[in-house]
Every structure is written in structure tokens, then in C-alpha cells.
Amino acid sequence: MSEVIGTPFPTIGIMGGGQLGRMMALAAIRMGMAIKFLVPKQTGGTMGLGTTHVGDWTDPAVLNEFIDGCDVVTVESEWAPIEAVENLGTSIPCYPRSSTLSLIRDKGVQKTTLKEAGLPVPPFACCSSYTEALEYAQGSGFPVVVKRYKGSYDGYGNATAHSVEELKSAWSQLADDNGVLVEAWVPFTRELSVLVARTPEGDHVTYPVAYTEQKDHRCHAVEVPTVIAKATEQKAVEIGLGAVEAVDGIGLTAVELFELEDGSILVNELAPRPHNTGHYSIEACFTSQFENHIRGILNWPLGSPQLRVPCAVMVNILGHRSQQVESDSVRESLKTDDVSVHIYGKEETRPKRKMGHVTATGDTLTDVRQKAELAASTIIL
Amino acid sequence: MSEVIGTPFPTIGIMGGGQLGRMMALAAIRMGMAIKFLVPKQTGGTMGLGTTHVGDWTDPAVLNEFIDGCDVVTVESEWAPIEAVENLGTSIPCYPRSSTLSLIRDKGVQKTTLKEAGLPVPPFACCSSYTEALEYAQGSGFPVVVKRYKGSYDGYGNATAHSVEELKSAWSQLADDNGVLVEAWVPFTRELSVLVARTPEGDHVTYPVAYTEQKDHRCHAVEVPTVIAKATEQKAVEIGLGAVEAVDGIGLTAVELFELEDGSILVNELAPRPHNTGHYSIEACFTSQFENHIRGILNWPLGSPQLRVPCAVMVNILGHRSQQVESDSVRESLKTDDVSVHIYGKEETRPKRKMGHVTATGDTLTDVRQKAELAASTIIL
């Protein structure tokens, strides 16, 4: 069966078994590497790829078995406890480091770190009491965005408060022992993303600035190249790289940005791992974000992040029904030319869960967008 | 561990565990499918991908266990006994069919089939005795190419005879009970390849004509697009498609062609599976040969075989030393930009064994060729 046998080729340990770990594995296997996954429970995404250990990923016994034979350990989510591996006292490198994750997991710490590094972020305050939050909101003016410090994503754990009443309600829902993060509402015109791959020695490459379109607080589509003023693009890349250096990100780190009407750029937030906004890179770039993540954590030379096609559009496939995925609609979607369909193999479909994505490539954004939307909307999972 | 769990997504059974099966699996997994391999012995290439059954692949008990849960069964080599699966009386489709393989495995039968279908092939004769071979050679004039009917490839099982003495020696080495195939020596100027993906219903797509450069009787490099006269290109595609229809090829079939000085095209031979001359398609085409093989055998819509980059060059990585592969040189090779490195994970390195390949893509063939050669020559396995 699929036992990993020791070879002089690196073995990559991945904590987490969702689509990001899966796509890391596909890139690494192509380069001759072996994969070990560690997941708290089996969810299907790693089926048929590498060896999967299922167990409590904070338990030293489980972890010791997992890291045996690994040349490096990484995570597919900022919530995977890589500190538990570091605490084993192993000499196996762990990237991203827990010190990076701890600067990112808490949104208050993350924003403070970025601000102290001189990076532009929306005005914010870490408010430990409702009174503080109210004072901040009244000072900056409503609306404000209230964020839970930990575990907020895709519209969960966030609220926009337009009034004192809404602020009160947001506080009661989102505050933990340390309170909440309150941000001034920023009138951004669109969201952009910059991906940075970086080695432990600080070598780095930055991917093209991507336009990320949100629907319902979720990433719906990503377009590259972004139609953008040269100066704004350059600023976005500089700020993205600065943000990644501020948290000492190693491997792939994604930087979500706001673009304002006057062309100024603010950092929204960081993800210390390959990111939904970089999936297009599998087909569209000389080196995908997943390959550069693997190369980065191994301290191998990074590959070119440039586009090798004129343009690309990625559209997410979200779950519709709470049952197993069906392949008929995938078959149907392949009648659309020039698209690559990615299905993540998750056993359970939940409404709005990311079940796959489609990337189309071609000569013009309009044409490519149309194909990606058509193929993605045909797939009903 | 990596058990395949039943889902409504197709499960692909692959007989064979070399690089072709491996790359089929990577394409299928990306689309959410599951993989089962059957190999006579474990050789490393399928490690970490799907479920691998090791056993006698002509034994009905082994085969029944293997096909359980499969939606389709395919092979990565014309020598894998797909007829043994058909003989089980299963309703699971097997593509390519054994009837196709039986027209291809024996080079005498293959050439005769192509000739009878009206396709241009070098003059040849199936010679059941040395006297017949001698008469044919004297009639056509030396040199002639002598080929073993079965199992000849990459310069093995072939000989070019320039004289009666060499013909005698070739006969004694290559003749089986039915004799040998003797072909007139054809003064071709270069070798080309056309790949055809085809469904059981006869839908098909043809890949761009590729120039395949041989060194030492082995494919060294493949270039696309080929610099070629429009009329010759069209003829090559027509002949390629005709050859695949003549053997009723399903899934991916590769057609190796000779181009003569006057622009005429002859069929050299067929391979009823993804082929070394199509590896470039992973990075360079909208749909890779592996993805279209999977789509073809499932009777799913085929994808565009067109290039999505200006040009691509693939260079093979052959084994140098009889020991396990080392990754240091792979790391080194990644200093060359714009290349994708594929390592097949074979446990045993043998001199001249195909251990991996490199594909470079970019704007000009000269630049891309240089990068692919540099990266490939850096890798010492």
C-alpha cells in the first residue's frame, strides 16, 4: 500500500488535510518528494495522496510518529499547532515558524505588528472594554468594523456597526476576554492580493498583483493581471513584501490589500500559507504558489512567479447541498474549453464550503472570465 | 491510511506504475477522482498516489480485487494485459481495448494494419525466413531496418543492416518463430509526433505536431510548436488521426512520424497511451495529454489540446548511476528559471532509464530550449 519509503528526496510533513495541503502535495510529488499528512480527523482531501496520520495533533506521541522521516514540517492553516512540533525539540525545520503564526492568528497583534513596521493599515484600536470601543467609534465616526481577535474569516466573526446599537450588539457577539478589534470603515474601491514566497535566508519572489472579487464576504473570483496603474502596482508589491518581512513569513504568505479611490493601498490581512487568491498560479505562472511554498520551506531556489499566459481567471466552486459530490456536473463543465477544473475530494459538502475551483487562461480577461464563470456555475456540488 | 473510499466520482484503475500511470493519476486526482494501481511489483512510481495493488496481473483473483470499485480500467503500457480484465466478463469498460493493443504490440501486424488502412508507411515485409528477409533486402536495396516483432523500443530489438553479413547477424539476434519485420531504410530528415485523444464515441482532438529529437535511439527533447510548412503540418495531423482510427485507439494514442526531405510523411509507429513526446502538454496546453486520456476513457468531453504558451521544450532526464536518486542536483537545477521539473520517484536508477523530465516554456524556442537543456543536464540521478 502507499507506505512512504525513505529516499534521499525530501519528505514534506503537512499539518492539515484540506485543499491547500492537497495542492501542496500535488506540486511536491511532481518534484519527486514524499508527503506525510497529519489531520485531527479524516475528511477526504488527502485520500490517495501520501500517507495520512489521523490523531490529536497536539499529542507528542502522535507528533513524533508524524515527523519521523520528515525533512521539513509545514501547515496549511495558521491554526495548525506548529508550535507543538517545535516544542518537541526536534531538529526538523518547521515553517512557517510559530512566531510568525502568533503574529497573525490574533488580528489585534497582527494589525499592531504591521503598523509598528510602518505599513499602511486602516485606522484601528484594540479595545478591551465596550467603553473603549464606543469612544473609538465616536472618535473615528461610524460605521466601524468590529472583528473578533481570533478565528474570524470569510465574513464570520466580523460585523460592520453603523450605530451605537449595532456596536453594542457586535461587542456582545464578538468580544473575548481581551475585547475586540475596532477598525475605521475604509471606503476601498477593490481588494487586491499579493503573494510572497520567501526562504529562511530571506530570498523572495512576489507574484503579480491579483484582483480579488468578493461576493457575500467570500472570494468569488481572482483575475490576473490586474488592470492597475503602474505606480499603484509597485506600491502594492512593496507593501506586500514589507508585510511578509514584518512577520518573517517563510514559504508562501498571502497579503490581502485594499485599494482606495486615490490609488493608496492598505493592508487588510495576512495568511501565512498558500491562499485562495493564488490558485490561478497552478496553470498561469511559471511556478505555482504551492511549488514555491515547498521550495521556500526547503530553502531551495525559488521559481519565477511571472505569468506564462496572457491572463487567467479563477472562480471558486462553493458547496450547495449537504451531501456527497456528484461528478455529472463536472463532466458537463468540461464542455467549456480552456478551463482546468480542480475538485478537492472533500467527503462532506456543506453550503458555501469551498469544494473546488476552476481556472481559465487565455488572451483577454473578458473571454477568460466568461469561460471560468460558465464552467464554475455548471458544477453543482 | 490511503484507502479509496467510494464516492460518486470516478475511480480510475491503472495497470502499471511507471511515470505514465503516475502522471495520469496526478491529472485525475486534480479533477477529484480516485486511483487504483495494479503493478506486478512495487517500483516506487506510485508511492503516495492512490492505492497500489501488487500482484500477478493475469490472475483473476488479483484482477477482481483490483477492479472492485473501478469505473474504468486503463493501461500505461501496451504490454499490460488488459485482455485479462476483459476476460473476467466484467461490465467495467477497459480502454484502450485489447483489440487495439493486439494491433499494436506486434510490429508486423501494426504496419500491415496501417498499410491496409491506406496510411503511408515505409516499405516493409514480414519475413518468416532468413531467405525471405534476404530477398526483400536485395530487392529494396541495403541498408534495411530489421525489427523484432514484439518488445522492441528505444533502439532495443532493432538493427540497421548495411550488408548481407549484418542482415544475417540481425536475423539471428532478432527473429522469433514468425521471423522479423524488415523495413526499407527511409532517409527521413526528422521525427515528428502527433497525439490524438479519442472517446469511445469517436470524438477526438489532435495535439500540435511536435518535433522530437533523438539521441542514441532515445527521445532526448521535444519542441512545440514545430517549425513546419503548413501543408506538411496538416498532412501530419490527418495521417496521425487516420492511424489512430485504424486501430480504434481510445484515450490518448501517440503517432510517431517520419518527415522526408520532400515534405512527405510516413508513420513510424503507434503507442496506445500517453507518450513521452506529449509530456510538454502538462505545462504548455490547455489540457494535458494525461487529462485528455482520462477524459477520453471516461467518455467525458475532451479538452482543447492547443498551446496556451508561445512555445515549450521538454528534455528527458535519463539515469546515470545505479543507485537511489539524489535531490541535491534537482535543487541546483531550480536555479534555472521558467522550468518545471518532474521526477518520477523510481526506487532504482539504471543507466539510460527515464527518471524524470524538465519542461521549459516561454517566448522563443531558442531561449526555452537552452533553459530546458541547462536544467535537465544539471540533474544527475
Which of B49, B292, B304 to mutate: most A Cβ within 10 Å? Answer: B49
CATH architecture observed for domain A123-184: 2-Layer Sandwich (3.30)
| Range ranked top by mean pLDDT from B118-132, B308-322, B346-360 | B118-132
Cβ neighbours of A340 in B, within 8 Å? 30, 286-287
* Secondary-structure class of domain A11-94 per CATH: alpha beta
Task: Identify the CA nearest to B357 among candidates B285, B287, B280.
Answer: B280
Asked if the Cβ–Cβ distance from A356 to B34 is below 8 Å, we say: no
Closest approach of chain B CAs to the CA of A272, in angstroms? 23
Summary mean pLDDT of chain A: 92
Cβ neighbours of B345 in A, within 8 Å? 7, 9, 29, 32, 34
Residue B69 has pLDDT above 90, yes or no: no
pLDDT tens-digit map of A209-250: 999 999 988 899 999 999 999 999 999 999 999 999 999 999
Closest approach of chain B CAs to the CA of A104, in angstroms? 30
Residue B324 has pLDDT above 80, yes or no: no
The answer to whether the CB of A272 falls within 8 A of the CB of A248 is no
Q: Mapping DSSP to helix (H, G, I), strand (E, B) and coil, where does residue A121 land? A: coil
pLDDT tens-digit map of A274-305: 999 999 999 999 999 999 999 999 999 999 99
Classify residue A96 as left (phi > 0), alpha (psi -120 to 50) or beta: beta
Q: What percent of chain B lies above the pLDDT cut of 90?
A: 75
Which of B54, B327, B347 to mutate: most A Cβ within 10 Å? Answer: B327
Which of A14, A29, A346 to mutate: most B Cβ within 10 Å? Answer: A29
CA distance A63 to A69: 12
Q: What is the mean pLDDT of residues B11-34?
A: 87
Closest approach of chain B CAs to the CA of A277, in angstroms? 18
The answer to whether the CB of B37 falls within 8 A of the CB of B57 is no
Predicted TM-score (pTM) of the model is 0.92
Q: How many CB pairs under 8 A join A and B?
A: 171
Torsions phi, psi for B356 (to 5 deg): 175, -175
Task: Identify the CA nearest to B235 among candidates B284, B189, B186, B192.
Answer: B192
Q: What percent of chain B lies above the pLDDT cut of 70?
A: 96
**For residue A97, which amino acid is it?**
R
Closest approach of chain B CAs to the CA of A356, in angstroms? 9
Asked if the Cβ–Cβ distance from B362 to A308 is below 8 Å, we say: yes
Hey, where are the domains in chain B?
11-94, 123-184, 188-378
Query: What does DSSP say about strands A339-343 and A311-318: parallel, antiparallel, or unpaired?
Result: unpaired
Cβ neighbours of B52 in A, within 8 Å? 1-2
Task: Identify the CA nearest to A316 among candidates A344, A295, A285, A291.
Answer: A344
The answer to whether the CB of B330 falls within 8 A of the CB of A32 is yes
Helix (H) / strand (E) containing A317? strand A311-318
Residue in A300, A325, A335 nearest the CB of B7: A325
ipTM, 2 dp:
0.89
CATH architecture observed for domain A188-378: 2-Layer Sandwich (3.30)
pLDDT tens-digit map of A315-343: 999 988 655 556 888 899 999 999 999 99
Residue B323 has pLDDT above 60, yes or no: no
- Digitized pLDDT (tens) for each residue of chain A, 381 residues in all: 333 333 467 888 888 888 888 888 898 888 888 888 888 887 777 777 888 889 999 999 999 999 998 999 999 999 999 999 999 999 999 999 999 999 999 999 999 999 999 999 999 999 999 999 999 999 999 999 999 999 877 778 899 999 999 999 999 999 999 999 999 999 999 999 999 999 999 999 999 999 999 998 889 999 999 999 999 999 999 999 999 999 999 999 999 999 999 999 999 999 999 999 999 999 999 999 999 999 999 999 999 999 999 999 999 999 886 555 568 888 999 999 999 999 988 878 888 889 999 999 999 999 999 999 999 999 988
The answer to whether the CB of A366 falls within 8 A of the CB of A359 is no
The answer to whether the CB of A309 falls within 8 A of the CB of A284 is yes
Q: What is the pLDDT of residue A39?
A: 86
Asked if the Cβ–Cβ distance from A7 to B308 is below 8 Å, we say: no
